[in-house]
Structure 1
Amino acid sequence: METWVFDLDNTLYPARSNLFVQVSARMTRFIQDRFELEAGPAKELQRDLFRRYGTTLRGLMTEHAVEPGTFLDFVHDIDVTPVDPSPRLDDLLARLPGRKLVFTNGSVPHAERVMARLGVARHFDSVFDIVAADYVPKPDPRPYARLVEVAGFAPAGAVMIEDMAKNLAPAAALGMRTVWLRSEHDWARDGAEGEHVHHVAEDLVGFLESLP
C-alpha cells in the first residue's frame, strides 16, 4: 500500500486513555457557559447535536452560529498525559512503507499534542482536520474526497484505519481498504457488520505487528 490514513482519537492511542471523556466534559462546560444551562440539559443538547449533525460543533455552528475556532480551542484544552508514549508504535510506523496521514474530526493542534505525546509525529506527512474539511465531519463523503484531492493519493492504493466503523464507509466507497479497531462503545460499533469493513483488529499496535 502506498498511503496509510489514520484516525486520531481512540485509534493512534488506545481508547482506554479516555481523552475523549475530557473533551466531552469540556464540550458540556462550553454549552453550559454559552447558554447558561445546568450540566444535565447542557449534556443533552450536546448529545442531540452530535446525533443530528455528526459532531456537536457542526450543530452549534448550524443552529447557534458558534465560532468554531473558539470552540475547538476550549474543548481541546485537556491533559494528554493519560496517553502513554509508545516506542513500539514509533518503531512499527518507521517500518511501515508508504505515506502516513492523519484524518480527524478534531483540530491540528490537538493532533500535534497527541502525536508528540506518543512520540510518533515524525512519521506523518500531514494532518487533515475539521478545519481543512470546512467543518464538515466524518462520515460525510465530502471531506474524504477533499482529503484525496489535497493529499494527492490514489484511493485504490490506500488503507484507512478508524475506531468508528461507520466512518469507514465513504473510504471504502472511494476504493480504499479499511481496518476497524474494535470498540465496546455503541457509537463506535455502528456499521461494524457492513461490507465496508474489510479487516477488524483489537488495537493499532497489534494490527501493525500482524502485517507481513
Structure 2
Amino acid sequence: MHARLDHVRNWIFDLDNTLYPHGARLFEQVDRRITDYIARFFQVDRDEAYKIQKGYFHTRGTTLSGLMAEHGVDPYEYLADVHDIEMDVLDENAPLAAAIARLPGRKIIFTNADALYAGKILAKLGLGETFEAIHDVHAAQYRPKPAPEAYRHLCDAYCLDPTQSLFADDMARNLKPAKQIGMTTLWVDNGSEQGEEGDRDFVDFTTRDITHWLHDILEEA
C-alpha cells in the first residue's frame, strides 16, 4: 500500500464517470434525457432546456435539486425518467473488482444518482457485491455533492472518520468539501469535467484510470 495512504480505512467512490470510463459515454445518455425532461416540463426547445439544466447544475449541485426547490418536482418520477437508459456500453471490469476487494477497510458508493440506477451499473461492471452501501441522493436527503452537508451526512450515516477516509470523484469540485473535513481526495481526471478551472490544491491524488491507480498503490510498499 502507498505509504501516504496507510491511514485510509474507508474507501468512498463516486459512480458515474468514476468507476467506468468517461469514454463509455453512458452519462451522456442521462444528460440528454435530463435535457428532454426539462424541455417537456417548461415547454421550451432543447437549447433553452440545456441552459436551464446547466444553470441548476452549477448553482444547486444537480438539476434535480433546482427542480425540487423551485418547482416541487417529484424526485422518484424524475430519476426514473432520466435513468431509463441502455447500459450495453458497460463491460465487466474484473481487475477493478479485484483491486477494490484488496483495499483494507470499508467501501461505500457516494452518488448524486439513486441506488436503483447505481445498482444496475455496479452489476454491469461486476461490482454488485463489492460495496457495503450505496449512499444515494435519497439517503442524502436531496442535498447533493458538492453541498458540505452531504459529506457530513455521509459520515454520520456510516460512522466514518473523515480523516481515515479517501473519496474519489471525476468532478474536482466535489472533492473540495471532502478535503475541508479531512478526507484524502482522488480526482479521476478522465475528461468528464468540462469548463471548470481554478485552484485545485484540495486534490491529493490524480489519475486518468482508477483501475490502474488502485493496482499501483496496492503494489507499492
**Both structures adopt the same fold (TM-score exceeding 0.5):** yes
The aligned counterpart of 1:172 is: 179
- Within the candidate set 67, 70, 78, 2:77 is matched to 70
Q: Is residue 2:51 matched to residue 1:51?
A: no
Letter in 1 for 2:28: V
Is this contact kept in 2: 1:159–1:177, CA < 8 A? Answer: yes
Percentage identity across aligned positions? Answer: 38
Residue 29 of structure 2 aligns to a residue in which SS? helix
Q: Is residue 2:96 matched to residue 1:89?
A: yes
**Structure 1 outlier segments of 4+, above 6 Å:** none
Q: Is residue 2:210 matched to residue 1:207?
A: no
Letter in 1 for 2:64: L
- Within the candidate set 133, 138, 141, 1:131 is matched to 138
Residue 168 of structure 2 aligns to a residue in which SS? strand
State the TM-score, normalized to the length of structure 1: 0.94
Is this contact kept in 1: 2:171–2:192, CA < 8 A? Answer: no
Q: Is residue 2:154 matched to residue 1:118?
A: no
Q: Cα RMSD between the aligned structures?
A: 1.4
Cα deviation 1:90-126 (Å, max 9, x = unaligned)? 1111212211000001110111000000001211000
Is this contact kept in 1: 2:168–2:186, CA < 8 A? Answer: yes
Is this contact kept in 2: 1:161–1:181, CA < 8 A? Answer: yes
Residue 88 of structure 1 aligns to a residue in which SS? helix
The aligned counterpart of 2:23 is: 16
Q: After TM superposition, give the deviation of residue 190 of structure 1 in Å.
A: 3.9
The aligned counterpart of 1:5 is: 12
Is this contact kept in 2: 1:83–1:117, CA < 8 A? Answer: yes
Tell me, which stretches of 5 or more residues in structure 1 are unaligned? none
Tell me, which stretches of 5 or more residues in structure 2 are unaligned? 1-7
Partner Cα distance (2:132, 2:197) in 1 = 30
Q: 1:142 to 1:9 in 2, by over 3 A?
A: same
